[in-house]
Amino acid sequence: MKKQTAMNRDWIATARTLSEALPYLQRYDDAIVVIKFGGNAMGDDDEMDGFARDIVLMQQVGVNPVIVHGGGPMINEMLEKLGIQSEFVNGKRVTDAATVEVVEMVLSGRVNKRIVQAINRQGGKAVGLSGKDANLMICDQTNPDLGFVGTPAEMNPNVLHTLFGADTIPVIAPLGAGRNGETYNVNGDTAAGAIAASLKADRLLLLTDVAGVKNAEGDVMTEITPDQIRQMTAEGIIAGGMIPKTETALVAIEGGVRAVVILDGRAPNACLLELFTEHGAGSIIRGTGNPVT
């Protein structure tokens, strides 16, 4: 009897959570949410399935999700197997002709298809593409010293609108098309920011392996302003792999994205908590034009 009462309490709490989600469901109806899924955030098959389930639920309730993935650790693994040395300069992989072939094979092949398949297994309809498809992301070379590393220069997001119209979830590998037929390796955060800006997305969620941006005391900041980002970067509090994320956040909000959230992709239901509950998750950086959204 006691057990049943506890069970009832669980059901009541579940019903309350659903009921409280209504204003959030209404807010995000038909919204565009770009999700950067980093290689370190991917986890094991169960965690991948959990992520895919959240994405399918998001679409079921009216959101247009777009996944832009990374895969740095998987690229490292393959380069090591092939005996190809690799180094990073300012968070970007120095990419010669042999390396870019491996990057494309790993990102567009194994990593992209793993995510596509996970979403489809949960009942969604996902299609894998890279920035080269339909000229989605045309790039210029970032810096000759980095080889085939690209900076997004011209975005053509029409193909994504077509996919939204067909209730299809785009899963995008961060490769760009060069103007002379080259393939460019693009940092996953940079690609996600450029795609989100081209869509004027309502949210860009950058999923990583920490709970958010931490201050000097190591506490996660629930909200962070562009000025705070600039100051904390100058002071070295924001460092390493967090720099491309906060830089992406600044570029994205300047490009018209309403808000960017940096959060832990390994936490269960991270995306749902962020979008559909009052609790949110991680650190939010809001666009200046939208103080209350």
CA separation for the pair 186, 172 (Å, rounded): 12
Burial per residue of 47-62, b for 16 or more beta-carbon CB atoms within 10 angstroms, e otherwise: bbebbbbbbbbbbeee
**Least distance in Å: CB of 52 to ligand X2W?**
17
| Residue 203 partner contact from ligand X2W, ligand ADP, none using kind-dependent CB cut-offs of 5 to 8 Å | none
| Residue 210 partner contact from ligand X2W, ligand ADP, none using kind-dependent CB cut-offs of 5 to 8 Å | ligand ADP
Q: Does 71 bind ligand X2W (CB under 6 A)?
A: yes
Residue whose C-beta lies closest to ligand X2W: 70
Specify whether the CB–CB gap between 284 and 223 falls below 8 A. Answer: yes
**Least distance in Å: CB of 38 to ligand ADP?**
3
Burial per residue of 80-106, b for 16 or more beta-carbon CB atoms within 10 angstroms, e otherwise: eeeeeebeeeebbbbbeeebbebbbeb
Specify whether the CB–CB gap between 213 and 283 falls below 8 A. Answer: yes
Q: Does 114 bind ligand X2W (CB under 6 A)?
A: no
Closer Cβ to ligand X2W, 191 or 285, answer by number: 191
| Residue 93 partner contact from ligand ADP, ligand X2W, none using kind-dependent CB cut-offs of 5 to 8 Å | ligand X2W
What single DSSP character describes residue 109?
Answer: I
Q: Does 266 bind ligand X2W (CB under 6 A)?
A: no
Whether residue 72 is annotated as binding a ligand: the answer is: yes
Closer Cβ to ligand ADP, 74 or 163, answer by number: 74
Q: Does 75 bind ligand X2W (CB under 6 A)?
A: yes
| Residue 50 partner contact from ligand X2W, ligand ADP, none using kind-dependent CB cut-offs of 5 to 8 Å | none
Structure-block tokens of residue 39: 């290689």
Closer Cβ to ligand X2W, 57 or 100, answer by number: 100
Strands of the sheet containing 126-130, edge to edge, are 126-130, 169-173, 64-69, 32-37, 203-208, 259-264, 283-286
| Residues in a beta bridge with 65 | 33
CA distances from 258 to 203, 245, 252 (A): 6, 16, 9
Neighbours of 172 (CB within 10 A): 28
Q: Does 72 bind ligand X2W (CB under 6 A)?
A: yes
Give the type of residue at 71: G
Stretch that binds ligand X2W, among 159-167, 184-192, 195-203, 274-282 (CB under 6 A): 184-192
Closer Cβ to ligand X2W, 57 or 129, answer by number: 129
Q: Does 126 bind ligand X2W (CB under 6 A)?
A: no
Contacts with ligand X2W, residue ranges (CB under 6 A): 38-40, 70-72, 75, 92-93, 103, 149, 174, 185-188
Binding residues: 71-72, 93, 185
